[in-house]
Amino acid sequence: MVSQEVIRRSALLRKEIAEYDYWYYVKDSPRIPDAEYDKLFRELQALESQYSELCSPDSPTQRVGGKPLDIFLPVRHAVAMLSIRTETDISDQGAIAFDTRVRRELGVSENDLPIEYVCELKFDGLAINLRYEQGVLVQAATRGDGETGEDVTQNIRTIRQIPLSLDGGCPNVLEVRGEVYMARPDFESYNERQRERGLPSLVNPRNGAAGSIRQLDPALAARRRLKFFAYGLGDVQGWTWRTTHKEVLAQLAAWGFPVNDEHRVVQGAQGLVEFHRRIAQKRDQLPFDIDGVVYKVNSLALQAQMGFVSREPRWAVAHKFPAEEQMTVVRDIDIQVGRTGKLTPVAKLEPVFVGGTTVSNATLHNEDETRRKDVRIGDTVIVRRAGDVIPEVVGVVLDRRPAEVGEAFDLCKRLNGKCPVCGSSIVREEGEAAWRCTGGLFCPAQCKEAILHFSSRRALDIEGLGDKLVEQLVDDGIVTTPADLYDKRKLNLHTLASLERMGEKSAQNLLEAIERSRQTTLARFIYALGIRNVGEATAKDLARHFGSLDNIMLADEARLQQVPDVGPVVAQSIFAFFREKHNVDVIQQLRGEDRANVGWTEHTGESIVELPLSGKTFVLTGTLPSMSRDEAKAKLEALGAKVAGSVSKKTNYVVAGAEAGSKLDKARELNITVLDEAKFFELINQAE
Ligand code: IVH
């Protein structure tokens, strides 16, 4: 017999976990530390395994662990899943043509009011129908042919953004439609991991999403982090109060579904054109792929009046952007030397317009990948360029392979075993996918890349130090390590003036930018060092965990692995980096310990230490029950936080006491986390 108390406790745990999942996965703003969350999760798991009566399909513990299926069962859709007519004219004309059609069909003339539309992004993933009965997710199905899809419920459950149950106030039957997709950073890191292990990579995020939803074993789907955007409804029973599509989207968000916030209500053709242009500009910065935008007539009554033609609604259209994949021919295969000596084969292409720019180089990643895809000089290939990532060759169009195609790729043979830049021997260590040059900083290519990385925006952010300039500085022997940038004997107005195309003003600006870069954070500094496998996120984790560079430099691999997300491979890279004498030398020069590298020591002393709340901005408002505002401010500042006077997009937290006024309203409007005194203490205690 399960006691009332256990039933209540497990219900509460489920509710809390679902709530924390929502904040973490949908709002991207965690509400409790991971360890606390894990504790709740484990408590629920323990209760459920002790009392099997407690198990229910909407428990968060049921997201993973389903058994592999033999086949997917067919699902007949209660309401057909339509497709959208596509406007392939990517110019403004595409939008104007749609508005003209809509007005003609509705009998609205140019003199009448403009039609109101909702503009959305056209997500490039897999369409899914989620069916909730009495608020519980009972079935998830693919679109299939529009009439019948496949039951992929088990796989969909693994997507944490998708609620397993909805709070009260939802219809008896609710079908939510939307797109399952793989975000670009998740796609990139998945592929990076696959390549490192010598395993096949995904062609693009859409295949990544569709492929994992089509896996019969849900454990495989769980391994790729998929996401979801809701954009419409299917069968709905017991709910009528809505009149516009915009209201539908707002209601979906209120039920806890992720709704992309780039959607806009606009008036007439002009509004559509502006949306299309604005999003085209923004496309590369979005963290997921889109292949266009979608326009929908906002009024549901007008939608009903317009109806459908051949499975496509007359009230919606997809307006495309330039394709992110194109075919072109490989003219040659070059090999580039990266910052860590990694040798990367690069295809030299017949220039092609893809993803909005002209591309003539595309990465082939490494030797195994080039061989697996069997890319050869003369081949026609598919090139992909999405976001600000480097264009890549995704595959060969074998039907178009010419008779006189080049031979299978062999990196070592092509290079005669030598680095193409410095002539040092090249090696490929066991278990490694990459060949490397053994020249270290002696190799000008590695030295140039190291300096470029060091000064890049997310590292020490030295404006004006671009690749042409670094090339000159290294080739002329003025600078050979990042530390030389701060050495006035090497880099000064005089030496800069000796360079071609370097005016006095730009030389001055560069020196000032270098001067400014002396003040940085520990996290940026670590990232800037260019340690293998240490990206920005790991650098931040290291800074937070160890607090000082010396601590990191002294840590052994076991200690390094105590940092979240640092596994044996990353720990090994960090450890090895600090055991290399030339790396330690460069760091010492940068810190200015053993020579007069003015400025660095003075600033690094305090600024390089990152405190737990460094980089976070707080605003205090209203009266706190047990602490004065000054005390709260001092406490925050001691932990590295900035305390600002007014709320803006840059604010991370608003601490609100009694009688908080307009600042609180502003915080809510901007969706900024608001803390009461209890939550504030919680956060402070965690940070301390
Ligand atoms: S609405 C009645 N909205 O595009 C209209 N579809 O052919 C039904 N898609 O595979 C779809 N983003 O999954 C709609 N914001 C969006 C969309 C979207 C992507 C996909 C959809 C389907 C295809 C439509």
**Residue 163 pLDDT exceeds 90:** yes
Last residue within a domain, chosen from 411, 426, 456: 411
Q: In this structure, is residue 604 part of a structural domain?
A: no
Residue 487 lies in a domain: yes
Separation of CA 82 and ligand 1 centre (Å): 8
Let me know whether 223 and 361 are in one domain. no
Residue ending a domain, among 320, 342, 374, is 320
Q: Across residues 171-189, what is the average pLDDT?
A: 94
The CATH number assigned to the domain holding 18 equals: 1.10.287.610
Return the CATH number at 494.
1.10.150.20
Per-residue confidence (pLDDT) for residue 640, from 0 to 100: 74
pLDDT of residue 397: 93
pLDDT band of residue 57 (cuts 50, 70, 90) is confident
| Residue written as token pair 């997009």 | 649
Nearest atom in ligand 1 to 86's CA = 7
Does the active-site annotation cover 67?
no
pLDDT on residue 610: 60
* 127 CA: nearest ligand 1 atom: 13
For residue 117, the model assigns a pLDDT of 98
Q: What is the pLDDT of residues 316-369, one digit of tens each?
A: 999 999 989 999 999 999 999 998 899 999 999 999 999 888 999 999 999 999
The protein residue with its alpha carbon nearest to ligand 1, atom 6, reads 122
Task: Tell me if 535 is assigned to some domain.
Answer: yes
Higher-scoring residue by pLDDT: 524, 687: 524
Q: Which of 445, 409, 440 shows the shortest CA–CA distance to 427?
A: 440
Question: Do 371 and 315 share a structural domain?
Answer: no
Q: How many angstroms separate the Cα of 408 from the Cα of each of 141, 369, 379, 637?
A: 43, 12, 11, 61
Query: Distance (Å, rounded) from C-alpha 244 to C-alpha 303?
Result: 9
Q: Are residues 10 and 94 in the same domain?
A: no
Supply the range of the domain harboring residue 370. 325-411
Asked whether residue 199 is assigned to any structural domain, the reply reads yes
Residue of 123, 249, 257 best suited for mutating to test ligand 1, as the one with most atoms within 8 Å of CB: 123
Q: Which of 294, 320, 346 is the last residue of a domain?
A: 320
Residues 461 and 514 reside in one and the same domain: yes
Check if 45 has its Cβ closer than 6 Å to any atom of ligand 1. Answer: no
User: For position 36, what pLDDT does the model report?
Assistant: 86
Is residue 302 located within the same domain as residue 174? yes
Query: Residue 63's pLDDT is what?
Result: 87
Q: Is residue 254 part of a domain?
A: yes
Residues 287, 338 within the same domain: no
434-444 residue pLDDT tens: 899 988 878 99
Q: Give the pLDDT band (50/70/90) at residue 595.
A: very low
- CATH number of the domain at 651, please: 3.40.50.10190
Q: Between β-strands 342-354 and 357-363, what pairing exists: parallel, antiparallel or unpaired? A: antiparallel
475 and 378 part of one domain: no
Distance CA 45, CA 55 (A): 9
**Residue tagged active-site, from 15, 39, 122, 488:** 122
Q: What CATH number is associated with residue 265?
A: 3.30.470.30
| 127 within ligand 1 shell (Cβ under 6 A) | yes
Does residue 609 fall inside a structural domain? no
- Taking only the tens place, the pLDDT of each residue in 244-295 is 999 999 999 999 999 999 999 999 999 999 999 999 999 999 999 999 999 9
What number is the average pLDDT over the span 580-609?
57
Please give the number of the atom of ligand 1 that sits closest to the Cα of 313: 2
Mean pLDDT on 385-410: 91
- Is 72 a domain residue? no
Q: Give percent of the chain above pLDDT 90.
A: 57
Highest mean pLDDT among 269-283, 517-531, 568-582: 269-283
**Mean pLDDT within 605-634:** 74
Contact 305, 103 (CB under 8 A): no
CB of 232 closer than 6 angstroms to any ligand 1 atom: yes
Mutate which of 119, 128, 228, 231 to test ligand 1's pocket (most atoms within 8 Å of Cβ)?
Answer: 231
- More confident: 90 or 279: 279
Average pLDDT, the chain: 89
Q: Do residues 41 and 91 both lie within one domain?
A: no
Domain match, 402 and 457 both? no
Are the C-beta atoms of residues 114 and 271 closer than 8 Å to each other? yes
CA atoms within 13 A on the CB side of 151: 12
**What pLDDT sits at residue 594?**
45
CA of 314 to the centre of ligand 1 (A): 13
Ligand 1 test: best mutation among 177, 291, 294, 295, most atoms within 8 Å of CB? Answer: 294
> Which CATH number characterizes residue 367's domain?
2.40.50.140
Asked whether residue 478 falls in the same domain as residue 554, the answer is yes
Q: Mean pLDDT, to the nearest integer, of 121-136?
A: 96
Total domain count for the chain?
Answer: 5
Per-residue pLDDT tens for 185-207? Answer: 899 888 888 887 778 889 999 99
Indicate if 262 and 364 belong to the same structural domain: no
The two three-digit tokens of residue 491, written as one number? 């880099």
Ligand 1: does its nearest atom lie under 6 Å from the Cβ of 412?
Answer: no
Residue 78 lies in a domain: no
- Three-state SS for 668? helix
Residues 92 and 217 reside in one and the same domain: yes
Task: Give yes or no for residue 599 having a pLDDT over 60.
Answer: no
| pLDDT(93) > 50 | yes
Length of the chain: 688
pLDDT score at 593? 55
Cβ pair 222, 64 in contact under 8 A:
yes
Question: Position 49: which residue type?
Answer: S
* The pLDDT of residue 644 is above 50: yes
